[in-house]
Amino acid sequence: MILTVTPNPSLDRTYEVQSLQRGEVIRAETERMDPGGKGVNVSRAVAAAGRRTVAVLPLGGAPGALVAELLDAQGIEVAPVQIAGATRSNIALAEADGVLTKINAPGPELSSAEQERLLETVRAQSRDADWIACCGSLPRGLAASWYADAVTRAHAGGARIALDTSGRALLEALPARPDVVKPNAEELAQAVGRPLTTVGDALKAAEEVRGMGARAVLASLGADGQLLVADTGVWFGTARVATVRSNVGAGDSSLAGFLIAGGSGPDALASAVAHGAAAVGLPGSVMPTPADLDPSAVTVTTDIPLDRELTEPAS
Greatest extent of the chain over all pairs of C-alpha atoms, in Å: 54
Work out the number of other CB atoms within 10 angstroms of the CB of residue 41: 31
Distance between CA atoms of residues 158 and 244, nearest Å: 39
Q: 122-127: which pairs have CB atoms within 8 A and are 24 or more residues apart?
A: 122/3, 122/5, 122/56, 122/150, 122/153, 122/154, 123/153, 123/157, 124/79, 125/3, 125/54, 125/56, 125/79, 126/3, 126/154, 126/157, 126/159, 127/157
Which residues contact residue 152 at a Cβ distance below 8 angstroms, ignoring those fewer than 6 apart? Answer: 176
d(CA 149, CA 132): 13
Contact 96, 68 (CB under 8 A): no
Whether residue 224 lies in the annotated active site: no
Asked whether the beta carbons of 119 and 144 are under 8 A apart, the reply is no
Which of the residues 224, 231, 252, 307 is marked catalytic? 252
Strand pairing category for 88-95 and 10-17: parallel
CA distances from 73 to 15, 28, 33, 37, 78 (A): 21, 25, 13, 17, 11
Whole-Å CA distances, 242 to 92, 127, 139, 222, 297: 22, 41, 36, 15, 10
How are beta strands 131-135 and 160-164 bridged, if at all?
A: parallel
Number of CB atoms found within 10 A of residue 299's CB: 13
Query: Catalytic residue positions?
Result: 252
